[in-house]
A and B are shown apart, each in its own frame.
Chain A
Amino acid sequence: MPVFRETTLSNGLRIAAEIDSRGYSAAFGYFVRAGSRNETDQQSGLSHFLEHMMFKGTARRSAADVNRELDELGGQGNAYTTEEQTVYYATVLPKFQDRLIDLLTDMLTPSLSTDEFETERKVILEEIAKYEDQPPFGAFERSMEIQFGPRGLGRRVLGTAESIQEMTASRMRDYFLSMYRPENLVLAASGNIDFDAMVEQVETLTSDWSQRQTTGENLLHCDTADSLPPGISLEPHLSVPEINQSYLVRISSGPSEASEDRYAARVLASILGDEGGSRMFWDLIDTGRAEVATIWPHEFTDCGAWFTYLVCDPADAPSNRDQIDRILSDVVKDGVTQEELNQTLNKASAGIIMQSERPSNRLFGLGSRWLTQGKYLSTDERLEKIKRVTIDDVGNAARNYFQNASHLEVIASGH
């Protein structure tokens, strides 16, 4: 059985690990409480831009060194940024643990050189352009902007072309110093780990992190709520010439990471919207009326959202939307059956077991939960929580979230 261990270093950096010495691999990741919701208008896109810059060199390593060493360790690694976190991770063979820890930890003290900043600005602008061409053409971002407002949780992770063009390296350095303080970070590890060696090594490598303080040279404006940030629109219809399908995103309030009913909400989502066997699947996908018709709750630290996503021929969008409304009102009225619940629980339990086989899969839940809640949940505890969900819990969640709930819709289409 895997063993959980945790500690807090003298500088405030927290470390959490799920150790399974039978594993073939070891996964490591730094989880930073820095996401788009922490940014102001003038910082829009900085968390994500910084994520790119962590690969661009340190006092001890050039940008090429960082990438080369990651490859030398055979590391299956990368990074991502969300509204609430930035995560740097890699999975390696256990024999490379100390070299990987040295590299990842060093990366988190980046040079942030102006030259590299200018080159990477172009890459970020390309990334923004790339997503403009991809379904659903910004509809998810738009739905978040309308639901939460264009600031805070509704702020785009990538920023806008306007905010990235305007960004300065100096502003980035200040943002780094204010966000990448040790008390704002968690180092998580899973798999075949030498925990004590890791703790000792990181204690030494991060001894000066507590000295990180902003220079104060960048005085930023306070955001004014009565105007939109540059490059942002709240128009719910995105017109994309040339596209065939309609992409409809509906958003409404959902459970947070701390909500008691989040497991019931996940089970409800599975019964209503899972690919291959849910109510929406049988009514809309199996019949060929839609390419995608699904629903899921997305949990944030202090709130949450239900997303409904429908992709279909524009002519069928109104009738498909009506069908989704019927499915939701039916579940509010009648709840779910024991048979549906059993089937979903069996599938979900197997999914958790299968997913837990790879340390790299375990890492993200472990690190993210330790960062935001300071809690650990073993695979068996997760299984237990899912298995305890009853049809009453699911029916209550349906009423709680879908009865008379107000929602917003964003549609991307060619017309």
Chain B
Amino acid sequence: MTVLVQPMPWLRTAAFSLALRAGVDVEPESESGLSGLTCEMVQRGAGPHSSRDLVSIQDNLGMDRSSGVSTSTSNFGASMPAESLETALALYAEIVLNPHLPENQLEDARMMCLQEIRANQDEPTHRVMQRLRQMHYGSVLGRSTNGTEEGIREIKQEDVRRFFETNYHAGGSIVAVAGNVEADSVFRWVEKSFGRWHTKPLPEMSMASGTSGYEHIKSGSSQTHIGFAFKTIPYGHPDYFRMRAGIGILSDGMSSRLFDRVREQQGLCYTVTASCHSLKQHAGVFGYAGTTPERAQQTLDVTLNEISGMTEGLSESELERWKIRIQSLLIMEQESSASRASSLASDFYQVGRPITTEELESAIESLTTDQICSYWHNHPPSDYRIVTLGPDPLNTPVDSILKSVQ
């Protein structure tokens, strides 16, 4: 287990972020949703505590908590008044080391997961972006973190136990702590609570298997919801910030190209965005625009055109604005222990070492427009994956695989 601590003595709070290598990428194919269901089950009683005891202790400690699964990790985290941290860490050690996994609560937990899947189906944006993720990363890395209805229904008690025993261990796990704490104390507390945890070998990283294409989901929605993606380099790649700055110029802030040219100048939509998403070895730029059907074709065309023309007329002032934006965000991160703990854990997972605020600031400060243009000229967006949901399909630059969903 890797333990990372960033003391922030000017705060009254502390936060931790615990990541285990137990994501949806290690689920058996027929049991999509097992990672999420296990994450729910481990919190239904652990060590000497019942499910209700756990919540009552957490509330009394003042913990603002979260949990969930991602492609490659299961994550637990909380922020709280700093004096609660020692007890909180001990409590979460019980949760991930000694959960009861009560069989008589499996049906409740299963129903909870099914509720979430049904609710997500009612969100057109979610449907589009989830389908896009599957197309982009392929069947394993593109899995829904909520799982599928069929998968969730398949899961038995022994599957949860097996998933827990195979994937909940110290190997590859990270606990990041930030806030009003002393590093030595945190090391001692983690040693005391997690020191006895065993280590197992880590699973092989899966490869992305996505392909380009276009799918349309037929719906009587008010807007046509447009999602698009293309491959890029992951966080930690030496050229990452050259790529990321380009996306920032397209989509970060109210003077960004997409907001200004698609929304502000033409009034084509309310929402238009593009952002970078990284897995350990794979990555994508994912974009979304929502607009009424009669303007959807124009919105897609204008948006993709802005992306392909990003380097045209790229000005020093555009880059400068993006730099100030990121620097301001980094400085303001010093005001939040939760935000810093979460960055520490995700940086370490992605890059294999913590990245200091100073290192990030200097990487961003040194970027030039020439570097960005050169990167984007050599790696133009291609092999788009496009998904739309709405009354009618659109014309796209990629082959259609028209799909009808009633």
* Docked complex: B140-197 residues within 8 A CB-CB of A: none
Q: B102-110, B206-214, B275-283: which one contacts chain A?
A: B102-110
In the complex, what residue of chain B is closest to A125 when comparing beta carbons?
A: B292
A68, B255: Cβ atoms under 8 Å? yes
CB pair B81–A353 under 8 Å, yes or no, is yes
Other-chain contact of A123, B56, B254, B270 (Cβ < 8 Å): B270
Q: Is the CB of B255 within 8 A of A134?
A: no
Report if A119 contacts B (CB, 8 A). yes
Kindly report which residue of chain B lies nearest to residue A412, judged by CB atoms: B122
Residue of A nearest to B337 (CB): A357
Residues of B within 8 A of A351 (CB): 62, 64
Whether, in the assembled complex, B264 has its beta carbon less than 8 Å from a beta carbon of chain A, the answer is: yes
Q: CA A283 – CA B255 in complex, angstroms?
A: 47
Which among B109, B219, B222 is the interface contact of A129 at CB below 8 angstroms?
B222
Cross-chain contact of A282 among B52, B62, B290, B331 (Cβ < 8 A): B52
A126:B292 contact, CB within 8 angstroms: yes
- A312 lies within 8 A of B335 (CB): no
Kindly provide the distance from the CB of A49 to the nearest chain B CB, expressed in whole angstroms.
Answer: 13
Residues in B34-55 with C-beta less than 8 Å from chain A = 51-52, 55
- CB proximity of A48 to chain B, nearest CB, Å: 12
- A265-300 to B contact mask, C-beta < 8 Å, 1/0: 000000000001100001001111111100000000
Q: Which B residues lie within 8 Å of A5 (CB)?
A: none
Q: B327 touching A346 by the CB < 8 A rule?
A: no
Q: How far is the CA of A282 from the CA of B64 in the complex (A)?
A: 18
* Complex CA distance for A133 and B226, rounded to whole angstroms: 13
Determine the residue in chain B with the shortest Cβ distance to A241: B220
- Say which residue of B56, B107, B290 sits within 8 Å of A277 (CB atoms): B56
Q: Which of B99-127 contact A (CB under 8 A)?
A: 107-116, 118-119, 121-125
Closest Cβ of chain A to B403, distance in Å, is 15
Q: Once bound together, how far apart are the Cα atoms of A74 and B322, in whole Å?
A: 8
Give the contacting residue for B108; candidates A22, A276, A287, A357; CB below 8 A: A287
Which residues of B1-22 are within 8 A (CB) of A?
10-13
> What residue of chain B has the Cβ atom nearest to residue A22's Cβ?
B10
Known contacts A74-B328, A343-B59, A135 near B122 by CB under 8 Å: yes
Q: How far is the CA of A346 from the CA of B125 in the complex (A)?
A: 37
**A61 part of interface (Cβ distance < 8 Å):** no
B362 contacts the other chain (CB 8 A) = no
Tell me, in angstroms, the Cα distance from A277 to B56 when the chains sit together. 7
Chain A residues within an 8 Å CB radius of B113: 288
B253 to chain A minimum Cβ distance, whole angstroms, is 4
What residues on A are CB-neighbors of B56 within 8 Å?
277, 339, 343
Say whether A130 contacts B123, CB under 8 Å. Answer: no
**A interface, size bucket:** 35 or more
* Chain B residues within 8 Å of A125, by CB: 292
A58 at the interface (CB under 8 A from B): no
B115 touches A290 (CB 8 A): yes
Which residues of the partner chain A approach B263 to less than 8 Å between Cβ atoms?
Answer: 123
Contact B115 A312 (CB under 8 A): yes
Q: Are B118's CB and A358's CB within 8 A?
A: no
Report B-chain residues with C-beta under 8 Å of the C-beta of A323.
none
Chain A nearest CB from B173 CB (Å) reads 24
The interface residues of chain B lying within 8 Å CB-to-CB of A73 are 324, 328
Which residues does chain B contribute within 8 Å of A358, judged by CB atoms?
Answer: 332, 335-336
The CA of A346 and the CA of B79, in the complex, are separated in Å by: 14
Q: Which residues on B sit within 8 Å (CB–CB) of A122?
A: 267-268
In the bound complex, what is the Cα–Cα distance between A123 and B60 (angstroms)? 46
Closest Cβ of chain B: how far from A319's Cβ, in Å?
13
Is B230 in contact with chain A by the CB < 8 A criterion?
Answer: no
Q: Which residues of B contact A129 (CB under 8 A)?
A: 222-223, 290, 292
Is A139 among interface residues, defined by CB-CB distance under 8 A? no
Q: Given the complex, which residues of A lie within 8 Å of B108, measured CB to CB?
A: 286-288
A91 contacts chain B at the CB level, 8 A cutoff:
yes
Given A285-B112, A288-B111, A291-B115, answer yes or no on A242-B80 (Cβ-Cβ < 8 Å).
Answer: no
User: Are B335 and A64 closer than 8 Å at their CB atoms?
Assistant: no
Contact digits for A109-137, partner B, Cβ 8 Å, 1 yes 0 no = 00000000001111101110110111100
Q: Which of A74, A134, A344 contacts B324 (CB 8 A)?
A: A74
A301 close to B (CB within 8 Å): no
Which residues from B are CB-within-8-Å of A241?
220
Q: Mark B291-317, 1 if CB is under 8 A from A, else 0.
A: 110000000000000000000000001
Q: Are B219 and A242 in touch, CB under 8 angstroms?
A: yes
Please, how many angstroms separate the alpha-carbon atoms of A342 and B63 in the complex? 14
Q: Are B254 and A92 in contact (CB under 8 A)?
A: no
Q: When A288-B108, A289-B111 are in contact, do A119 and B265 touch as well, CB less than 8 Å?
A: yes
- Please name all residues of chain B whose beta carbon is closer than 8 Å to the beta carbon of A289 when the two chains form the complex: 111
The residues in A between 37 and 86 inclusive whose CB is less than 8 angstroms from any CB of B are: 55, 63-64, 67-68, 70-76
Given A120, A245, A277, A339, which contacts B122 in the complex, CB threshold below 8 Å?
A245
Kindly list 15 other residue pairs between chains A and B, CB separation below 8 angstroms, not including A71-B254, A129-B222, A288-B107: A23-B335, A24-B331, A73-B324, A93-B332, A122-B267, A244-B121, A276-B58, A277-B59, A289-B111, A311-B119, A312-B115, A313-B115, A347-B59, A353-B62, A354-B13
Measured CB to CB, the residues of A under 8 A from B are 22-25, 55, 63-64, 67-68, 70-76, 91-93, 119-123, 125-127, 129-130, 132-135, 241-245, 276-277, 282, 285-292, 311-313, 339, 342-344, 346-347, 349-351, 353-354, 357-359
Q: Mind listing 30 A-B residue pairs with CB under 8 Å?
A: A24-B331, A25-B335, A55-B254, A71-B324, A74-B324, A75-B328, A76-B332, A123-B269, A129-B223, A130-B222, A130-B223, A133-B290, A134-B123, A134-B125, A242-B406, A276-B65, A277-B55, A277-B56, A286-B51, A288-B114, A289-B111, A291-B119, A346-B60, A349-B62, A350-B64, A351-B62, A353-B12, A354-B13, A357-B13, A357-B335
Which 9 A-B pairs rank lowest in CB-CB distance, beginning with the nearest? A288-B111, A350-B62, A74-B328, A122-B267, A291-B115, A67-B254, A71-B253, A132-B222, A129-B222
- B residues near A (Cβ < 8 Å) are 10-13, 51-52, 55-56, 58-65, 79-81, 84, 107-116, 118-119, 121-125, 219-223, 225, 253-256, 259-260, 263-271, 290-292, 317, 320-322, 324-325, 327-329, 331-332, 334-336, 406
